[in-house]
């Protein structure tokens, strides 16, 4: 997902909401947590929470009353970037990743090995 710096989500800049989604992560959030993170009143946080739920970024966490968790759309937003990178930069990062795979797979100190790399060109 790619964000525009001017984009607004639930009345806040996309970067502020992205930061909120990052803070929530795979945990749960409450309205007071959202209020604290956004630096707004509890009432405003309730409004934002409801808008984020309606827009599909948050869902009610059924196991704990008053808690919310990220949806897949919320997780995507938390991982969104604010700018594109050049083809040269992408190629450099890809080359670095491919260079490190044999070192990681061959090192017994790492818990996992890389068996395959799938490259899909869009």
Average pLDDT in the 82-99 region?
A: 85
Q: With pLDDT > 70 as the criterion, what percentage of the chain qualifies? A: 98
74 in a domain, yes or no? yes
58 in a domain, yes or no? yes
Mean confidence (pLDDT) of the chain: 88
**By residue range, what is the domain housing residue 59?**
1-108
pTM of the predicted protein model: 0.65
117 in a domain, yes or no? no
- CA dist 104 and 118 (Å) reads 17
More confident residue, 98 or 111: 98
84 in a domain, yes or no? yes
CATH code of residue 39: 1.10.10.10
Q: With pLDDT > 90 as the criterion, what percentage of the chain qualifies? A: 51
Q: How far, CA to CA in Å, does 64 sit from each of 1, 28, 60?
A: 30, 9, 9
- CA dist 93 and 87 (Å) reads 10
Using pLDDT thresholds of 50, 70 and 90, give the confidence band for residue 122: low
53 in a domain, yes or no? yes
Tell me: the pLDDT tens digits for 27-40? 889 999 999 999 99
121 in a domain, yes or no? no
29 in a domain, yes or no? yes
Tell me: the pLDDT tens digits for 66-75? 999 999 999 9
Structural domain total, the chain: 1
């Amino acid at each position: 997902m790619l964000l525009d710096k001017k984009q607004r989500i639930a009345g806040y800049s996309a970067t502020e909401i992205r930061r909120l989604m990052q803070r929530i992560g795979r945990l749960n959030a409450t309205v007071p947590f959202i209020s604290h993170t956004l630096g707004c009143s509890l009432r405003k946080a309730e409004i934002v929470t409801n808008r984020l739920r309606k827009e599909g970024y948050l869902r009610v966490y059924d196991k704990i009353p008053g808690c919310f968790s990220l949806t897949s759309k919320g997780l995507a937003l938390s991982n969104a970037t604010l700018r594109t990178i050049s083809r040269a930069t992408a190629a450099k990062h890809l080359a670095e990743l491919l260079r490190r795979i044999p070192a990681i797979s061959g090192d017994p100190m790492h818990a996992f090995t890389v068996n395959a790399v799938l490259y899909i060109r869009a």
